[in-house]
Amino acid sequence: MVGIIGNPVRHSLSPIMHNRALSHLGLNWVYLSFEVEPARARSAIEGARDLGMVGLNVTMPFKMEAVEWVDIKDGSVILTGSLNTLLFKDSKIMGFNTDGIGFLNSLREKSISLQGRKVLLIGAGGAARAVAFVVAQQEVARLTVLNRTPQKAHRLAQELSSFKPETEINTASYDLGLALVISDSDLIINATSVGMKDHPGIPIPTDDIDQRHIVYDLAYWPLRTELLRDSEERGARVVSGLEMLIHQGAESFRIWTGKEFPLPIVREELTEYLKSIEDRSR
Protein backbone atom coordinates (compact mmCIF):
# COMPACT_ATOMS: atom_id res chain seq x y z
CA MET A 1 0.00 0.00 0.00
CA VAL A 2 1.26 3.45 -1.02
CA GLY A 3 -0.52 6.79 -1.24
CA ILE A 4 -0.51 10.54 -0.93
CA ILE A 5 -1.06 12.77 2.09
CA GLY A 6 -1.98 16.45 1.77
CA ASN A 7 -4.76 18.97 2.24
CA PRO A 8 -6.51 19.48 -0.13
CA VAL A 9 -5.62 16.32 -2.01
CA ARG A 10 -8.82 15.23 -3.74
CA HIS A 11 -7.79 16.78 -7.09
CA SER A 12 -4.38 15.10 -7.14
CA LEU A 13 -3.59 13.13 -10.28
CA SER A 14 -1.15 10.88 -8.41
CA PRO A 15 -3.70 8.12 -7.59
CA ILE A 16 -4.68 7.83 -11.29
CA MET A 17 -1.02 7.89 -12.33
CA HIS A 18 0.31 5.33 -9.85
CA ASN A 19 -2.65 2.96 -9.94
CA ARG A 20 -2.37 2.85 -13.74
CA ALA A 21 1.34 2.03 -13.46
CA LEU A 22 0.77 -0.59 -10.73
CA SER A 23 -1.95 -2.38 -12.68
CA HIS A 24 0.07 -2.22 -15.91
CA LEU A 25 2.94 -4.00 -14.16
CA GLY A 26 0.53 -6.50 -12.57
CA LEU A 27 1.57 -5.57 -9.03
CA ASN A 28 -0.89 -6.38 -6.25
CA TRP A 29 -0.54 -2.88 -4.78
CA VAL A 30 -2.88 0.06 -4.30
CA TYR A 31 -2.27 3.84 -4.16
CA LEU A 32 -4.70 5.78 -1.94
CA SER A 33 -5.25 9.42 -1.16
CA PHE A 34 -5.46 10.81 2.39
CA GLU A 35 -6.74 14.32 3.12
CA VAL A 36 -5.51 14.94 6.64
CA GLU A 37 -5.98 17.79 9.12
CA PRO A 38 -2.67 19.65 9.47
CA ALA A 39 -2.47 18.94 13.21
CA ARG A 40 -2.79 15.19 12.48
CA ALA A 41 -0.36 14.94 9.56
CA ARG A 42 2.64 13.77 11.57
CA SER A 43 0.74 11.11 13.49
CA ALA A 44 -0.94 9.99 10.24
CA ILE A 45 2.48 9.47 8.64
CA GLU A 46 3.72 7.56 11.67
CA GLY A 47 0.52 5.50 11.57
CA ALA A 48 1.09 4.72 7.90
CA ARG A 49 4.58 3.51 8.79
CA ASP A 50 3.24 1.38 11.65
CA LEU A 51 0.52 -0.11 9.44
CA GLY A 52 3.24 -1.42 7.15
CA MET A 53 2.62 0.86 4.16
CA VAL A 54 5.54 0.96 1.73
CA GLY A 55 5.61 4.75 1.40
CA LEU A 56 3.76 7.98 0.75
CA ASN A 57 3.83 11.03 -1.44
CA VAL A 58 3.60 14.25 0.54
CA THR A 59 2.00 17.31 -0.97
CA MET A 60 0.84 20.79 0.08
CA PRO A 61 0.88 22.01 2.78
CA PHE A 62 3.19 19.41 4.39
CA LYS A 63 6.18 19.33 2.02
CA MET A 64 8.37 21.52 4.21
CA GLU A 65 7.31 20.63 7.73
CA ALA A 66 7.54 16.90 6.96
CA VAL A 67 11.32 17.33 6.61
CA GLU A 68 11.43 17.49 10.42
CA TRP A 69 9.47 14.23 10.75
CA VAL A 70 11.80 11.89 8.85
CA ASP A 71 14.65 9.81 10.28
CA ILE A 72 16.83 9.82 7.17
CA LYS A 73 16.99 12.67 4.61
CA ASP A 74 18.15 12.19 1.03
CA GLY A 75 20.51 14.90 -0.34
CA SER A 76 17.62 16.30 -2.41
CA VAL A 77 15.73 17.05 0.82
CA ILE A 78 18.69 18.70 2.54
CA LEU A 79 19.27 20.87 -0.52
CA THR A 80 15.71 22.07 -1.10
CA GLY A 81 14.34 21.96 2.45
CA SER A 82 11.25 20.11 1.24
CA LEU A 83 10.20 16.57 0.37
CA ASN A 84 7.52 14.84 -1.68
CA THR A 85 8.27 11.14 -1.10
CA LEU A 86 8.56 8.93 1.97
CA LEU A 87 9.81 5.37 2.15
CA PHE A 88 9.13 3.30 5.27
CA LYS A 89 11.95 0.83 5.81
CA ASP A 90 13.02 -1.09 8.93
CA SER A 91 10.66 1.13 11.03
CA LYS A 92 12.48 4.22 9.77
CA ILE A 93 11.02 7.06 7.70
CA MET A 94 13.21 8.05 4.77
CA GLY A 95 12.53 11.34 2.92
CA PHE A 96 13.21 12.20 -0.74
CA ASN A 97 12.43 15.08 -3.07
CA THR A 98 11.89 13.75 -6.60
CA ASP A 99 10.70 17.06 -8.10
CA GLY A 100 14.16 18.21 -9.17
CA ILE A 101 15.27 14.90 -10.67
CA GLY A 102 11.81 14.58 -12.26
CA PHE A 103 12.31 17.94 -13.97
CA LEU A 104 15.78 16.93 -15.23
CA ASN A 105 14.62 13.54 -16.46
CA SER A 106 11.74 15.12 -18.35
CA LEU A 107 14.27 17.24 -20.27
CA ARG A 108 16.59 14.26 -20.77
CA GLU A 109 13.75 12.23 -22.26
CA LYS A 110 13.32 15.00 -24.84
CA SER A 111 17.10 15.21 -25.42
CA ILE A 112 17.11 18.80 -24.16
CA SER A 113 20.48 19.55 -22.55
CA LEU A 114 20.89 22.32 -19.99
CA GLN A 115 24.61 22.62 -20.52
CA GLY A 116 25.60 26.09 -21.74
CA ARG A 117 21.99 27.32 -21.70
CA LYS A 118 20.76 30.65 -20.40
CA VAL A 119 17.83 29.85 -18.15
CA LEU A 120 15.10 32.22 -16.98
CA LEU A 121 13.20 30.84 -13.98
CA ILE A 122 9.95 32.60 -13.10
CA GLY A 123 8.95 32.13 -9.46
CA ALA A 124 10.73 31.68 -6.15
CA GLY A 125 8.33 29.41 -4.24
CA GLY A 126 8.53 25.70 -3.48
CA ALA A 127 8.31 24.46 -7.08
CA ALA A 128 10.85 27.04 -8.27
CA ARG A 129 13.32 26.01 -5.54
CA ALA A 130 13.16 22.34 -6.48
CA VAL A 131 13.93 23.18 -10.11
CA ALA A 132 16.49 25.91 -9.35
CA PHE A 133 18.89 23.68 -7.42
CA VAL A 134 19.05 20.98 -10.09
CA VAL A 135 19.38 23.56 -12.88
CA ALA A 136 22.26 25.25 -11.02
CA GLN A 137 24.07 21.89 -10.94
CA GLN A 138 23.93 21.42 -14.73
CA GLU A 139 26.70 23.71 -16.03
CA VAL A 140 24.21 26.24 -17.35
CA ALA A 141 25.68 29.46 -18.79
CA ARG A 142 23.37 31.56 -16.62
CA LEU A 143 20.40 31.20 -14.29
CA THR A 144 18.16 34.24 -13.83
CA VAL A 145 15.40 34.30 -11.22
CA LEU A 146 12.36 36.53 -11.77
CA ASN A 147 9.67 36.83 -9.11
CA ARG A 148 6.72 39.08 -8.30
CA THR A 149 8.20 39.66 -4.84
CA PRO A 150 11.80 40.65 -5.73
CA GLN A 151 13.18 39.98 -2.22
CA LYS A 152 12.33 36.29 -2.59
CA ALA A 153 14.11 36.14 -5.95
CA HIS A 154 17.21 37.76 -4.38
CA ARG A 155 17.15 35.34 -1.45
CA LEU A 156 16.89 32.31 -3.74
CA ALA A 157 19.63 33.65 -6.04
CA GLN A 158 21.91 34.17 -3.02
CA GLU A 159 21.33 30.63 -1.78
CA LEU A 160 22.01 29.25 -5.25
CA SER A 161 25.19 31.30 -5.55
CA SER A 162 26.56 29.96 -2.27
CA PHE A 163 25.67 26.45 -3.42
CA LYS A 164 27.23 26.85 -6.89
CA PRO A 165 29.62 29.84 -6.84
CA GLU A 166 30.98 28.98 -10.31
CA THR A 167 27.54 29.37 -11.98
CA GLU A 168 26.39 32.84 -13.07
CA ILE A 169 23.20 33.45 -11.08
CA ASN A 170 21.30 36.72 -11.09
CA THR A 171 17.81 38.18 -10.80
CA ALA A 172 15.53 40.09 -13.16
CA SER A 173 12.58 42.37 -12.41
CA TYR A 174 9.26 43.14 -13.98
CA ASP A 175 10.50 46.32 -15.70
CA LEU A 176 11.61 47.57 -19.10
CA GLY A 177 14.75 45.40 -18.99
CA LEU A 178 12.69 42.20 -18.90
CA ALA A 179 12.25 42.07 -22.68
CA LEU A 180 16.02 41.89 -23.10
CA VAL A 181 16.36 39.13 -20.50
CA ILE A 182 13.61 37.13 -22.24
CA SER A 183 15.11 37.46 -25.69
CA ASP A 184 18.58 36.58 -24.32
CA SER A 185 17.34 33.33 -22.66
CA ASP A 186 17.25 29.84 -24.18
CA LEU A 187 15.02 28.09 -21.67
CA ILE A 188 12.15 29.83 -19.85
CA ILE A 189 10.55 27.97 -16.94
CA ASN A 190 7.31 29.11 -15.34
CA ALA A 191 7.21 27.93 -11.73
CA THR A 192 4.51 30.34 -10.56
CA SER A 193 0.83 29.52 -10.20
CA VAL A 194 -0.04 32.04 -12.93
CA GLY A 195 -1.70 30.23 -15.82
CA MET A 196 -3.21 27.40 -13.81
CA LYS A 197 -6.94 26.85 -14.16
CA ASP A 198 -7.77 28.73 -10.96
CA HIS A 199 -5.15 31.47 -11.63
CA PRO A 200 -5.66 32.36 -15.30
CA GLY A 201 -3.19 34.73 -16.89
CA ILE A 202 0.32 34.84 -18.21
CA PRO A 203 3.46 35.25 -16.05
CA ILE A 204 5.51 37.18 -18.66
CA PRO A 205 4.80 38.97 -21.94
CA THR A 206 5.48 36.70 -24.92
CA ASP A 207 6.30 39.38 -27.54
CA ASP A 208 10.01 38.50 -27.43
CA ILE A 209 9.58 34.73 -27.51
CA ASP A 210 10.39 33.00 -30.79
CA GLN A 211 11.66 29.76 -32.32
CA ARG A 212 14.96 29.98 -30.41
CA HIS A 213 13.19 29.44 -27.10
CA ILE A 214 12.16 26.41 -25.12
CA VAL A 215 9.30 27.29 -22.78
CA TYR A 216 8.49 24.90 -19.92
CA ASP A 217 5.39 25.59 -17.81
CA LEU A 218 5.31 23.53 -14.62
CA ALA A 219 1.50 23.87 -14.64
CA TYR A 220 -0.37 20.95 -16.24
CA TRP A 221 -3.97 22.05 -15.79
CA PRO A 222 -4.89 23.23 -18.34
CA LEU A 223 -2.56 21.09 -20.46
CA ARG A 224 -1.83 24.11 -22.66
CA THR A 225 -1.56 27.21 -20.50
CA GLU A 226 -1.82 30.66 -22.05
CA LEU A 227 1.99 30.93 -21.84
CA LEU A 228 2.45 27.66 -23.74
CA ARG A 229 -0.21 28.50 -26.33
CA ASP A 230 1.26 31.95 -27.09
CA SER A 231 4.84 30.67 -27.08
CA GLU A 232 4.00 27.80 -29.41
CA GLU A 233 2.27 30.19 -31.80
CA ARG A 234 5.48 32.20 -31.85
CA GLY A 235 7.47 29.13 -32.85
CA ALA A 236 8.94 28.15 -29.47
CA ARG A 237 9.32 24.54 -28.38
CA VAL A 238 6.99 24.02 -25.42
CA VAL A 239 6.87 21.50 -22.58
CA SER A 240 3.87 20.96 -20.31
CA GLY A 241 4.13 20.47 -16.56
CA LEU A 242 2.53 17.08 -17.12
CA GLU A 243 6.03 15.88 -18.05
CA MET A 244 7.52 16.90 -14.71
CA LEU A 245 4.52 15.42 -12.90
CA ILE A 246 5.02 12.07 -14.62
CA HIS A 247 8.77 12.02 -14.12
CA GLN A 248 8.66 12.94 -10.43
CA GLY A 249 6.08 10.16 -10.06
CA ALA A 250 8.37 7.76 -11.91
CA GLU A 251 11.16 8.44 -9.41
CA SER A 252 8.87 7.92 -6.40
CA PHE A 253 7.60 4.71 -7.98
CA ARG A 254 11.16 3.46 -8.44
CA ILE A 255 11.98 4.25 -4.79
CA TRP A 256 8.96 2.23 -3.58
CA THR A 257 8.85 -0.67 -6.03
CA GLY A 258 12.36 -0.81 -7.51
CA LYS A 259 10.64 -1.03 -10.90
CA GLU A 260 10.64 1.15 -14.00
CA PHE A 261 7.57 3.33 -14.47
CA PRO A 262 5.62 2.67 -17.71
CA LEU A 263 5.95 6.32 -18.86
CA PRO A 264 4.04 6.16 -22.19
CA ILE A 265 1.08 4.29 -20.64
CA VAL A 266 0.81 6.77 -17.76
CA ARG A 267 1.24 9.77 -20.08
CA GLU A 268 -1.61 8.56 -22.28
CA GLU A 269 -3.87 7.89 -19.28
CA LEU A 270 -3.29 11.34 -17.75
CA THR A 271 -3.56 13.20 -21.04
CA GLU A 272 -6.91 11.55 -21.77
CA TYR A 273 -8.12 12.25 -18.25
CA LEU A 274 -7.11 15.93 -18.40
CA LYS A 275 -8.71 16.34 -21.82
CA SER A 276 -11.94 14.79 -20.57
CA ILE A 277 -12.20 17.11 -17.56
CA GLU A 278 -11.25 20.06 -19.77
CA ASP A 279 -14.13 19.20 -22.11
CA ARG A 280 -16.51 18.88 -19.16
CA SER A 281 -15.44 22.24 -17.67
CA ARG A 282 -16.09 24.13 -20.94
- Write out the binding residues: 12-14, 59, 84, 99, 123-127, 147-152, 218, 220, 241, 248
Kindly tell me which residue out of 194, 204, 255, 266 binds ligand ATR, with binding defined by CB under 6 A.
Answer: 194
Residue at shortest CB range from ligand ATR: 125
Q: Which part of the chain contacts ligand ATR (CB under 6 A), choosing from 30-38, 165-173, 192-200, 262-270?
A: 192-200
Distance (Å, whole) CA 86 – CA 70: 8
Is 197 an interacting residue with respect to ligand ATR (CB under 6 A)?
no
Give whichever of 128 and 136 is closer to ligand ATR, judged by the CB atom. 128
CB of 238 to ligand ATR, least distance (A): 19
Give whichever of 32 and 65 is closer to ligand ATR, judged by the CB atom. 65
Kindly tell me which residue out of 7, 138, 170, 193 binds ligand ATR, with binding defined by CB under 6 A.
Answer: 193
Instruction: Name every residue whose Cβ is closer than 8 Å to that of residue 70 and which is 6 or more positions away in sequence.
Output: 77, 83, 86, 93, 94, 95
Kindly tell me which residue out of 126, 222, 241, 249 binds ligand ATR, with binding defined by CB under 6 A.
Answer: 126
Distance (Å, whole) CA 135 – CA 141: 10
Distance (Å, whole) CA 58 – CA 221: 20
For 70, phi and psi rounded to 5 degrees?
-100, 155
Query: CA of 195: how far to CAs of 127, 191, 192, 217, 218, in Å?
Result: 14, 10, 8, 9, 10
Q: Which part of the chain contacts ligand ATR (CB under 6 A), choosing from 17-25, 31-39, 66-74, 124-132?
A: 124-132
Kindly tell me which residue out of 14, 98, 192, 252 binds ligand ATR, with binding defined by CB under 6 A.
Answer: 192
Q: Catalytic site residue 164?
A: no
Q: Residue 171's CB: how many other CB atoms inside 10 A?
A: 21
Is 85 an interacting residue with respect to ligand ATR (CB under 6 A)?
no
Is 123 an interacting residue with respect to ligand ATR (CB under 6 A)?
yes
Residue 95's closest CA among 126, 64, 124?
Answer: 64
Residues engaged in binding ligand ATR (CB under 6 A) = 123-128, 147-149, 152, 191-194, 203
List, by residue number, the catalytic residues.
63
